[in-house]
């Protein structure tokens, strides 16, 4: 999945800050929108699509239509690996963020990287956010079957194991119902069309609403 140059990363940070403003959580009003960050790769960034068709924007519209007052910042960087996400997590997720939807690992798999490296990086992201008091939802990925059963078993277990270890909401396969469907992917066969993104949103919506419910309960308890 294509990698943008460094300016794209800087642009992401600027957009996240613009979305959230400069207020931290402590200074925000209790009735303000929930501020989410979608931290991911090109599947989050919306490679080949208009900004309004990218996953974070489509998900925000769907949630608002269901009565959830949310803002979702797009912190997707095309070509990013889990290790790349770990390197930028501290400044891709600004202060004042209420929760993160973490979607990384597809590029690790496509490059055949050691699943142990992917696992370590994803766990590092989760731990850093946990230390900051930012809840995480995991959007998982499955390995391509042509990588062999051993690789597949090791890679596929990453998200389930991390979700169990840290008590996270898990959506097991981000491309569920999309992968392998030619009509739902761009000509490269890897990236969803705008129609496919809407399908992803509808499938992941119950998990995201569970995540939002947890955040609201957490805020009340806090």
Please give the pLDDT value at position 72: 98
Please give the pLDDT value at position 151: 98
* Angle of CA points 111, 48, 16, to nearest 5°: 90
Q: Which residues are catalytic?
A: 42, 188, 191
The single-letter DSSP state of residue 185 is B
Q: 215 is written with which tokens?
A: 């955040």
> Residues 194-210: pLDDT tens digits?
999 999 999 999 999 99
d(CA 61, CA 70): 9
108 vs 22, which has greater pLDDT? 108
d(CA 73, CA 178): 23
- Local confidence band at 10 (pLDDT 50, 70, 90 cut-offs): low
Mean pLDDT of the chain: 90
Domains of the chain: 6-221 (3.40.50.1110)
- Asked whether the predicted pLDDT for residue 5 surpasses 50, the reply is no
- Asked whether the predicted pLDDT for residue 25 surpasses 50, the reply is no
Please give the pLDDT value at position 218: 79
Element (H, E) at 57: helix 55-65
Ordered DSSP codes for 145-178: GGG-HHHHHHHHHHHHHHHHHHT-EEES-TTTTT
- Asked whether the predicted pLDDT for residue 60 surpasses 60, the reply is yes
pTM > 0.95: yes or no: no
Please give the pLDDT value at position 213: 95
Lowest mean pLDDT among 8-17, 129-138, 197-206: 8-17
- Local confidence band at 19 (pLDDT 50, 70, 90 cut-offs): low
> Residues 150-172: pLDDT tens digits?
999 999 999 999 999 999 999 99
Please give the pLDDT value at position 220: 79
- Strands of the 169-171 sheet, one edge to the other: 70-76, 34-40, 99-103, 136-139, 169-171
- Note whether 128 and 141 are within 8 A (CB): no
- Asked whether the predicted pLDDT for residue 18 surpasses 60, the reply is no
Please give the pLDDT value at position 27: 36
* 35 exposure class (CB count in 10 Å sphere: 0-12, 13-18, 19+): buried
Beta pairing, strands 99-103 & 70-76: unpaired
- Local confidence band at 16 (pLDDT 50, 70, 90 cut-offs): low
Count of H-run helices and E-run strands, the chain: 8, 5
- Asked whether the predicted pLDDT for residue 29 surpasses 50, the reply is no
Please give the pLDDT value at position 117: 98
Q: Where are the beta strands (DSSP E) in 15-163?
A: 34-40, 70-76, 99-103, 136-139
Other beta carbons less than 10 A from residue 135's beta carbon: 21
Please give the pLDDT value at position 32: 86
């Amino acid at each position: 999945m294509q990698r943008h140059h460094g300016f794209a990363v800087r642009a992401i940070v600027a957009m996240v800050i613009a979305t959230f403003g400069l207020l931290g959580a402590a200074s925000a009003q209790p009735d303000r929108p929930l501020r989410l960050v979608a931290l991911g790769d090109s599947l989050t960034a919306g490679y080949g699509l208009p900004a309004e068709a990218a996953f974070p924007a489509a998900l925000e519209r769907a949630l608002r239509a269901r009565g959830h007052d949310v803002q979702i910042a797009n912190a997707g960087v095309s070509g990013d690996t889990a290790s790349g996400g770990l390197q930028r997590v501290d400044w891709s997720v600004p202060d004042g963020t209420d929760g993160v939807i973490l979607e990384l690992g597809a590029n690790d798999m496509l490059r055949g990287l050691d699943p142990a490296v992917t696992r370590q990086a994803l766990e590092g992201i989760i731990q850093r956010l946990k230390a900051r008091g930012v809840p995480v939802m995991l959007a998982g990925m499955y390995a391509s079957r042509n990588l062999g059963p051993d690789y597949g078993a090791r890679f596929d277990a990453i998200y389930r194991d991390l979700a169990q270890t840290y008590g996270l909401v898990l959506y097991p396969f981000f491309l569920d119902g999309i992968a392998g469907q030619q009509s739902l992917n761009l000509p490269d066969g890897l990236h969803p069309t705008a129609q496919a993104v809407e399908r992803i949103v509808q499938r992941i919506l119950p998990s995201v609403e569970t995540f939002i419910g947890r955040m609201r309960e957490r805020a009340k308890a806090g």
